[in-house]
Each structure stands twice: as structure tokens, then as C-alpha cells.
Structure 1
Amino acid sequence: MEKEIVIKSTQGLHAALAAKVVQTASKYAVDIELHYHNKVVDLKSILALMSLAVPHGENVRIVARGTRAEEAIKDVSSILG
């Protein structure tokens, strides 16, 4: 399952937002990734997520696999988009 969203935060994907995303993604027993340009990172890793430095208004894709993938994507995308 996957979903494309636009980063709505005017500060882009900053540290506090990344921490919230990681905390939310970690609640689910799914494999969940963020795809940005040609990079793919685990959404349960704050260092990996911060390394992307995604600015405001950029498109990203969230990809999840597992029994609660749809729910995980919905929760994470509500934070980012």
C-alpha cells in the first residue's frame, strides 16, 4: 500500500515533526518507508528521516507493508500532509 502526499509544514520536515512521525510509525508492526526523490528511508528511524531534509511543498511517497499498512499510512500522512 502506498500514498503520495505533499509536506505541508512551512518548515519542511523538521526535527519535532520527524520525531512525531517516528513515534506514530513505531506503533505499527509494519514495514513503512518514506520515498523522496531517489532515496528511501525507514519511517521508524529519526536519523534516516532527518537526513532527507525534505522542504515545504515537496511530494513524498509513504509505502507500507503489513496487516495494518493502511492504518499506519493514514496516521503518518495526517501528520505530514
Structure 2
Amino acid sequence: NNLIDEEVDTEGEGKDDDEEVEFVNPTMPLAEVRKVLKQTIEILPLNTETDFEIKRAMVKQIRETDSEIIRTACRIQ
């Protein structure tokens, strides 16, 4: 009976894999966003494939944040 319950519990797992994960508050200044992401990457343990996926997503977010900082700076000038 417990085995059946466990199988039911895991059926829904993984269906949200394609959703974008937000690491930071959208109202936070971009420089602060970048700082938080960099600090998080530095302390993130890399023990599992999921840890590496999280790190890759954070690195991608840092690149996007850098691009947005540059676009914002160009608009200001």
C-alpha cells in the first residue's frame, strides 16, 4: 500500500521543468540582482546534476542581467 502511495506522489513531478525560475525580486536594481546571483553561485554546492542545472540557469540570468544593464546605460546616455 505504501508503494502505491509513493508512486502516486511522484506522478506529477517534472511537469514544471520548462518553467522559467525566478531567482530574484523583479523590483530589485539590476546591479543588486547580479551581486545576489554571483554570491549564490559562489556558495552553491555542485553535488548533483540538479545543482549544475541551477548554476547554469543562474549564469544565464547573470548574462541577461549584464545585457540589460548595458541596454539601460545606453538609453540613459
- The alignment's TM-score, normalised by the length of structure 2, stands at 0.34
RCO higher in 1 or 2 (8 Å CA, sep ≥ 6)?
1
Structure with greater proportional strand content: 1
Structure with greater proportional helix content: 2
- The alignment's TM-score, normalised by the length of structure 1, stands at 0.33
The higher radius of gyration belongs to 2
